[in-house]
């Protein structure tokens, strides 16, 4: 008998961060994971996860809306359906629910995890097979303090945990941000690549001034300097400067990718399972970018170990990513809810092995951190 989806449980899990994480849109002392436990009639459980950053400050979904919209709208569309046809289930969700890509990503992840466990295959194998079993991972310096960021960077270089760094800027006046970035770049010299992420903080004329100074300081990549909807502005900035632009919030899915490529964008794309609706859905944008010769970057919405593993399985199926990945968030959290933490070493992370995501829950930790 073909197995069917029996129940879908969602839990909000609050994990403290090891230090305040400061972005232009929010300062985080805690990350909330929306954990999905999807049970099937053959006794198999699939795990999924959705996250965002700072409640509603990053985008239109919050942890609470992800949970509520899964419980009220998405789960009822899946319960009772055959478990194994991911493409039919994706189409069903997209037909009846607009947007809500993070909620859909958590469900798509749980479906893939269950199917992998059922067939004895990893999620990467279900997606066509892994081309890499170790992916580079940078660290995000966002303590808000220049010297603390420099100390953090040297510590990660010495222990060979991270070799490149991304700086979160845009909350302070341009000149102050540029001084902060230039001081970190000067301290690290040629030891490490330094990129910045503005999270849409600047308008275009501020961006022209700021990027000129960042280029001069030796910064290698400028992520989402201006608002997501200003795609034409991002294309102009990419054409104006030698330092490449990385589209993040501006490129949610393949449709956005097509618009940017069609408009002559010459920078790189940040992929995120959360933006595109899951580890299978994100590959549409990945394939489009690779066809168009656009460099890729494996992005995160600061997922915990389950969401991070899901993204790694997707990234592993692609050609080598020109800009590596930022799948560091489990290390930003003080504790974990999985039995075996992900293995970070040699400036990167190992693709988890075993069927499905290759991840299992620590039930005690989950109970401890789950919101009542």
Ligand X SMILES: O=C(O)C[C@H]1C=CC(=O)O1
CB contact at 8 A, 214 and 265: no
Instruction: Based on the shown chain and the rule CB under 6 A, indicate whether residue 164 belongs to the binding site for ligand X.
Output: no
3-11, 104-112, 300-308, 360-368 -> range binding ligand X (CB under 6 A): 300-308
In the residue annotation, 340 being an active-site residue is answered as no
Nearer to ligand X, 70 or 142 (CB): 142
> Of these partners, Mn ion, ligand X, none, which one is at the site of residue 164 (CB under 5 to 8 Å by kind)?
none
> Of these partners, ligand X, Mn ion, none, which one is at the site of residue 300 (CB under 5 to 8 Å by kind)?
ligand X
203-211, 276-284, 293-301, 333-341 -> range binding ligand X (CB under 6 A): 293-301
What's the rounded Cα separation, in Å, for the pair 52 and 328? 15
In the residue annotation, 242 being an active-site residue is answered as no
Number of residues this chain uses to bind ligand X (CB under 6 A): 12
Q: Which residue has the tokens 């989402």?
A: 224
36-44, 82-90, 295-303, 347-355 -> range binding ligand X (CB under 6 A): 295-303
Shortest CB 311 distance to Mn ion, Å: 14
DSSP for residue 258:
H
Element containing residue 338 per DSSP (H, E) = none
Alpha carbon 280 to its chain centroid, in Å, reads 14
DSSP for residue 150:
H
What's the rounded Cα separation, in Å, for the pair 49 and 72? 17
Task: Measure the N-to-C terminal CA separation of the chain; round to a whole number of Å.
Answer: 37
CB contact at 8 A, 306 and 49: yes
Q: How, if at all, do strands 134-136 and 45-50 pair?
A: unpaired
Instruction: Based on the shown chain and the rule CB under 6 A, indicate whether residue 352 belongs to the binding site for ligand X.
Output: no
Please give the backbone phi and psi of residue 22, each rounded to the nearest 5 degrees, phi first.
-105, 120
Shortest CB 308 distance to ligand X, Å: 11
Three-class secondary structure of residue 287 per DSSP = helix
Instruction: Based on the shown chain and the rule CB under 6 A, indicate whether residue 217 belongs to the binding site for ligand X.
Output: no
Three-class secondary structure of residue 163 per DSSP = coil
Q: Which residue is nearest to ligand X, using beta carbons?
A: 140
Q: Find the binder of ligand X among 62, 122, 281, 300 (CB under 6 A).
A: 300
Instruction: Based on the shown chain and the rule CB under 6 A, indicate whether residue 302 belongs to the binding site for ligand X.
Output: yes
Burial class, 80, CB count within 10 angstroms (exposed 0-12 / middle 13-18 / buried 19+): exposed
> Of these partners, Mn ion, ligand X, none, which one is at the site of residue 140 (CB under 5 to 8 Å by kind)?
ligand X
Shortest CB 224 distance to ligand X, Å: 7
CB contact at 8 A, 177 and 169: yes
Instruction: Based on the shown chain and the rule CB under 6 A, indicate whether residue 303 belongs to the binding site for ligand X.
Output: no
> Of these partners, ligand X, Mn ion, none, which one is at the site of residue 302 (CB under 5 to 8 Å by kind)?
ligand X
Interface with ligand X by CB under 6 A: which residues? Answer: 53, 140, 142, 168, 197, 199, 248, 299-302, 326
Catalytic machinery residues: 168, 326
């Amino acid at each position: 008998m073909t197995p069917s989806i029996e129940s879908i449980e969602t839990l909000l899990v609050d994990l403290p961060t090891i230090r305040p994480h400061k972005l232009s849109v929010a300062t985080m002392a805690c990350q909330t994971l929306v954990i999905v436990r999807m049970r099937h009639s053959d006794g198999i459980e699939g795990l999924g996860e959705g996250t965002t950053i700072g409640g509603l400050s990053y985008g239109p979904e919050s942890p609470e809306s992800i949970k509520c919209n899964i419980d009220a709208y998405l789960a009822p569309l899946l319960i009772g359906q055959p478990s194994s046809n991911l493409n039919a289930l994706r189409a069903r969700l997209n037909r009846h629910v607009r947007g809500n890509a993070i909620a859909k990503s958590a469900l798509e992840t749980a479906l893939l995890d269950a199917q992998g466990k059922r067939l004895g295959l990893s999620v990467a194998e279900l997606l066509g097979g892994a081309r890499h079993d170790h992916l580079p991972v940078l660290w995000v310096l966002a303590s808000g303090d220049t010297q603390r960021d420099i100390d953090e960077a040297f510590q990660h270089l010495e222990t060979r945990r991270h070799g490149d760094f991304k700086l979160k800027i845009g909350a302070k006046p341009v000149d102050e941000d540029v001084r902060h970035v230039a001081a970190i770049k000067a301290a690290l010299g040629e030891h490490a690549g330094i990129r910045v992420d503005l999270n849409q903080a600047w308008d275009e004329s501020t961006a022209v001034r700021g990027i000129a100074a960042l280029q001069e300081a030796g910064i290698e990549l400028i992520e989402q300097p201006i608002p997501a909807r200003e795609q034409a502005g991002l294309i102009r900035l990419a054409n104006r400067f030698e330092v490449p632009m990385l589209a993040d919030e501006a490129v949610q899915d393949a449709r956005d990718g097509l618009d940017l490529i069609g408009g002559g964008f010459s920078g790189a794309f940040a992929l995120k399972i959360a933006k595109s609706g899951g580890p299978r859905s994100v590959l549409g944008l990945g394939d489009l970018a690779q066809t168009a010769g656009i460099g890729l970057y494996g992005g995160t919405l600061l997922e915990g170990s389950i969401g991070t593993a899901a993204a790694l399985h997707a990234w592993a199926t692609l050609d080598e990513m020109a800009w590596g990945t930022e799948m560091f968030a489990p290390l930003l959290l003080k504790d974990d809810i999985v039995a075996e933490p992900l293995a970070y070493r040699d400036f990167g992370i190992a693709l988890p092995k075993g069927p499905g995501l290759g991840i299992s829950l620590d039930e005690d930790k989950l109970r401890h951190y789950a919101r009542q």
